[in-house]
Amino acid sequence: MDIEVLHDAAEHRFRAVVDGVTCVLEYRMQGAVMTITHTGVPEAVGGRGIAAALMQAAFDTARRENLRVVPACSYAQVWIARHPAYADIVNPV
């Protein structure tokens, strides 16, 4: 499934709409540190890799913009454990 993820930097969120349902990854910024605070995928569209796509977009953006990432939400912590290629940009929780 190809999931289109949009970044709304002004609102500090990444968003994907799947089957009319909005899914989000929310973060806060402090200097050059992106703290991922919440990943929300409603049950109606769960299990399709949407949260992973949101996380991938956030980490790719952080790398491109030379940011550090704090994986504060539980899904972000699980995701980074499965994607050690991004460990170099992670700040511990």
Instruction: Decide if 79 is inside a domain.
Output: yes
Q: Are strands 68-71 and 33-40 parallel, antiparallel or unpaired?
A: parallel
Residue pLDDT, tens place only, 41-72:
999 999 999 999 999 999 999 999 999 999 99
Instruction: Decide if 57 is inside a domain.
Output: yes
At 38, the pLDDT band (50, 70, 90 cuts) reads very high
When computed from its CA atoms, the radius of gyration of the chain, rounded to whole angstroms, is: 12
pTM (global) more than 0.85? yes
Instruction: Decide if 28 is inside a domain.
Output: yes
Q: How confident is the model at residue 92, as a pLDDT?
A: 75
User: Average pLDDT of the chain?
Assistant: 96
Instruction: Decide if 1 is inside a domain.
Output: no
Q: What is the CATH number of the domain that holds 76?
A: 3.40.630.30
Structural domain boundaries, residue 44? 6-89
Per the structure, the count of domains in the chain is: 1
Instruction: Decide if 59 is inside a domain.
Output: yes
Instruction: Decide if 65 is inside a domain.
Output: yes
